[in-house]
């Protein structure tokens, strides 16, 4: 079954910015479609997302990336047999060869990923299996439903508030199935709304659907998370807390501007350590700047036995960066985002390296999302164990949670990466 055409277009993401969508045609029939997400707080080492610049769309147009798919990539992939389970590797090899740069700056990671994901989906359709099953077959894994990390309180670059920490998440890990976990996390979301309203702090929401109040300190966010969990009728033994600090966003001249003070990495690490003792803190993502390797190492040594130390901007889903983190014991977990690296096959490679090194893995959305649900299939098919995809609100986030509900109707293996 041969690929006969790829067609890309501009669509809007959840922030109202343009992004790339790619349709894949086999034997003249459109069999799959993929839409590319986009981040707000991005790592310096991510693959390059091609934007047009100029005045249209405030410089964020993607017509050049769309043109690259339609005029450069599509002609090179026509005739490729997508019915082979090994076609994904060939598709991505051709993409990398066509681009020829280290950071995807020629064709654009948004153009390349749109094609890579659409071809992955097409192969699943041709094989008459679900996308998660196709991924599991390629990666040779035992698929499982991931534990959700649900972002219910937003700050940092994802909100217009005075909170430095970008995401406060609930992890409903103490449940026997995904449906129960999703319900518990969603009830915490509504409980938080009630707690904030009670204190006159209910205002807007952030890019990922979480509430975005102004708070006196970052620690107040943790206090509200505990109130939300207990207010929903759960214990902190059943539902833990995760943070995405996104510390690169407030790191300047070797100091962290945190709670309106300039502090060192060592001082910030002491704050995290204290929180880990006082709160049900199971995971801290990007606690330091993406090049502050020493601070990462110190924190991992100090609390890494009991807490996930997650590299996002630190690793940007790149094998080379991850290998450095492994060699220097800089963390024990990696956040995986397809668009940070730009192809499906490279994402698989990063996941395999993480598992070989006993790292935990989290499949993640971006703050600029679409209704595409491929990350749900990726989390299941790869047996990643955890998924991070925003608040249980707004269709760009709930589409992923709902896809996991559908999958869980036929797949009963539910991940339990945290101690109960």
- Determine whether 337 is an active site residue: yes
Paired tokens of 19 = 């992004």
Active-site hit among 21, 133, 167, 208: 208
Instruction: Check if the beta carbon of residue 364 is closer than 8 Å to that of residue 397.
Output: no
Instruction: Check if the beta carbon of residue 133 is closer than 8 Å to that of residue 216.
Output: no
DSSP lists the bridge partners of residue 34 as 22
- Count of Cβ atoms closer than 10 Å to residue 58 Cβ: 12
- How far is the C-alpha of 405 from the C-alpha of 182, rounded, in Å? 9
CA nearest to 329, candidates 316, 343, 311, 344: 311
Active-site hit among 60, 104, 121, 337: 337
User: What angle (nearest 5°) sits at the alpha carbon of residue 366, between those of residues 171 and 211?
Assistant: 55
Instruction: Check if the beta carbon of residue 338 is closer than 8 Å to that of residue 365.
Output: no
- How far is the C-alpha of 148 from the C-alpha of 386, rounded, in Å? 6
Question: Residues with Cβ < 8 Å from 374, sequence gap 6 or more?
Answer: 34, 117, 120, 121, 131, 338
In terms of Cβ atoms closer than 10 Å to its own Cβ (0-12, 13-18, 19+), residue 224 is buried
- Side-chain-side CA neighbours of 413 within 13 Å: the count stands at 11
Residues serving a catalytic function are: 208, 337
């Amino acid at each position: 079954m041969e690929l006969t055409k790829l067609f890309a277009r501009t669509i809007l993401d959840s922030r109202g910015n343009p992004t790339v969508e790619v349709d894949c045609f086999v034997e003249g029939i459109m069999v799959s479609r993929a839409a590319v997400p986009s981040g707000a707080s991005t790592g310096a080492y991510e693959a390059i997302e091609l934007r047009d610049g100029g005045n249209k769309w405030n410089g964020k147009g993607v017509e050049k990336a769309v043109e690259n798919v339609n005029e450069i990539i599509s002609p090179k992939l026509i005739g490729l047999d997508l019915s082979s389970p090994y076609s994904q590797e060939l598709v991505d090899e051709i993409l990398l060869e066509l681009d020829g740069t280290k950071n995807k700056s020629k064709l654009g990671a948004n153009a390349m990923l749109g094609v890579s994901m659409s071809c992955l989906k097409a192969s699943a359709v041709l094989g008459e299996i679900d996308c998660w099953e196709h991924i599991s077959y390629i990666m040779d894994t035992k698929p499982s439903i991931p534990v959700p990390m649900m972002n219910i309180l937003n700050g940092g670059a994802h909100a217009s508030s005075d909170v430095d920490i970008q995401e406060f998440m609930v992890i409903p890990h103490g449940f026997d199935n995904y449906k129960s976990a999703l319900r518990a996390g969603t009830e915490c979301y509504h409980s938080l709304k009630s707690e904030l309203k009670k204190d006159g702090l209910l205002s807007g929401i952030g890019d990922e659907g979480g509430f975005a109040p102004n708070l006196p300190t970052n620690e107040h966010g943790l206090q509200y998370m505990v109130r939300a969990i207990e207010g929903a009728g759960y214990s902190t033994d059943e539902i833990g807390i995760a943070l995405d600090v996104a510390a690169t966003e407030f790191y300047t001249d070797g100091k962290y501007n945190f709670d309106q003070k300039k502090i060192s990495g060592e001082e910030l690490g002491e704050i995290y350590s204290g929180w880990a003792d006082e709160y049900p803190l199971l995971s801290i993502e990007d606690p330091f700047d993406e090049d502050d390797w020493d601070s990462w190492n110190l924190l991992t040594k100090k609390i890494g036995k009991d807490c996930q130390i997650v590299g996002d901007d630190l690793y940007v889903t790149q094998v080379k960066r991850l290998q450095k983190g492994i060699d220097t014991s800089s963390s024990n977990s990696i956040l995986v985002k397809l668009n940070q690296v730009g192809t499906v096959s490279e994402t698989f490679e990063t996941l395999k390296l993480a598992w070989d090194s006993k790292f935990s893995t989290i499949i993640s959305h971006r703050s600029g999302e679409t209704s595409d649900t491929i990350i749900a299939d990726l989390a299941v098919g790869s047996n990643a164990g955890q998924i991070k995809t925003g608040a249980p609100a707004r269709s760009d986030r709930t589409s992923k949670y709902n896809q996991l509900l559908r999958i869980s109707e036929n797949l009963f293996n539910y991940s339990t990466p945290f101690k109960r």
